[in-house]
């Protein structure tokens, strides 16, 4: 930040602070996930939800807070839009530049977000649709959470909303691109845990 000021480009430089996943290490002292359940390599909010701060004095109003959901794959189209270019290939992301600029009406929204990890002893898939979050863990019952009322994912409500579970499961099937390197079957973890935390 000091160098940007020294060069005289501080006012018109976008600086973003974020992460690609939740904390890999957590304990009571650090409380890295706060009220969120899980950590890296889990599909719970503690492993998915990340910090994000943006500073661009000439464009972003200081102190602005948003609840706009976005994913890391939204960064490329955002950077391209800022540069006035288009991504060279079709991408899944959506630019969040309108949100950064305070133009919420122009912001496009994802129909859903899809995540998958197969680095533990069996794959885990997750989809967020609005405030609904569905998690399919290998050889475990399907989980459904209402993030509007249960951000910590403490109460599985899958039995109460079978129509939402069916919709999320169908979306998981239709969205996933099969790959022989990442089968939805059990395999040994190279991390030494079962990913269940």
| Residue 24 to residues 136, 153, 157, Cα–Cα distance (Å) | 21, 18, 27
Q: Say what the pTM is.
A: 0.85
At 173 the pLDDT is 92
User: Cβ distance 49 to 33 under 8 Å?
Assistant: no
At 144 the pLDDT is 98
Torsion of CA 104, 101, 23, 40, to 10 degrees: 50
Candidates 172, 169, 142; CA nearest to 158 is 142
Residue scoring higher pLDDT (31 or 46): 46
The backbone torsions φ and ψ at residue 29, rounded to the nearest 5 degrees and listed phi first, read -65, -50
Q: CA 97, CA 104: separation in Å to the nearest integer?
A: 10
pLDDT tens-digit map of 67-76: 999 999 999 9
User: Cβ distance 163 to 134 under 8 Å?
Assistant: no
| pLDDT exceeds cutoff 90 at 154 | yes
| pLDDT exceeds cutoff 90 at 50 | no
pLDDT tens-digit map of 113-153: 999 988 766 789 999 999 999 999 988 999 999 999 999 99
At 189 the pLDDT is 54
At 98 the pLDDT is 97
């Amino acid at each position: 930040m000091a160098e940007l000021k020294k060069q005289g480009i501080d006012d018109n430089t976008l600086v973003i602070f974020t992460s690609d996943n939740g904390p890999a290490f957590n304990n009571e002292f650090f409380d890295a996930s706060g009220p969120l359940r899980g950590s890296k390599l889990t599909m719970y909010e503690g492993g998915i939800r990340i910090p994000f701060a943006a500073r661009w004095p000439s464009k972003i109003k200081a102190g602005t807070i948003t609840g706009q959901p976005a994913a890391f794959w939204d960064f490329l189209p955002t950077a391209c839009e800022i540069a006035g270019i288009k991504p060279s290939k079709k991408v899944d992301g959506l630019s969040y530049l309108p949100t950064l600029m305070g133009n919420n009406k122009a912001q496009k929204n994802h129909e859903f977000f899809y995540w998958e990890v197969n680095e533990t002893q069996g794959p885990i898939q997750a989809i967020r649709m609005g405030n609904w979050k569905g998690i399919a863990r290998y050889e475990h019952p399907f989980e459904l959470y209402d993030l509007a009322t249960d951000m910590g994912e403490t109460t599985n409500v899958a039995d109460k909303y079978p129509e939402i579970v069916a919709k999320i499961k169908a979306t998981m099937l239709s969205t996933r691109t099969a790959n022989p390197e990442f089968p939805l079957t059990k395999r040994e973890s190279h991390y030494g845990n079962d990913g269940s935390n």
